[in-house]
Amino acid sequence: MTVTDYDALAARLQAVEDRLAIIQLLASYGPAVDSGDAEATAGIWTADGVYDSYPAPMHGHDDLVAMVGSDLHQGLINGGCAHLIGMPQVEVHGDTAVATGYSMLCVRDEATDGFRVWRVSANRWELTRTPTGWRTTNRVNRLLDGSAQARALLGAATQ
């Protein structure tokens, strides 16, 4: 085995590790936010990372921590909810990456002994490699209500 062979194998392995690490980072969002762990939630983003969602974009860890502690979010998790992140499509380009996929928010509905699907959204996650692993620099979330904006978020993944 030559050094070139080794380098090629190591590069392929790195590509797999990166993709899997990003899938796992996204999979950690639900458990973090639905358990009410504000620090773990914020830690999915870089210190100045943005979460562009409803009702207003959040900038940096303080905004993310405040979202988890908000009356809206606390009401959701105390009533019963699940923030599900679908299997994303991930493209890695060196030290940055884009993940595209869906999120679904289900809320407990005692009246029907079931759950209501309240929100299904298109999501674009922009990520960067940091010394402690992949982190989100910008996540954009748009309700799939037929708007061109939500469809464009998904469409950008296939370009």
Site of interaction with its own copies (CB under 8 A): 1, 3, 5-6, 9-10, 12-13, 16-17, 19-20, 23-24, 26-28, 30-32, 34-37, 40, 77-82, 84-90, 100-102, 104, 106, 108, 110, 112-120, 122, 143-147, 150-152, 154-155, 157-158
Query: What's the closest the beta carbon of residue 86 comes to its own copies, in angstroms?
Result: 5
Query: CB-wise, 71 or 113, nearer to its own copies?
Result: 113
Query: What's the closest the beta carbon of residue 53 comes to its own copies, in angstroms?
Result: 16
Cis peptide before 88 (omega within 30 of 0): no
Structure tokens at 62: 């303080």
Q: Is 5 exposed, middle or buried (0-12, 13-18, 19+ CB in 10 A)?
A: exposed
Residue pair 136/49 in contact by the 8 Å Cβ criterion: yes
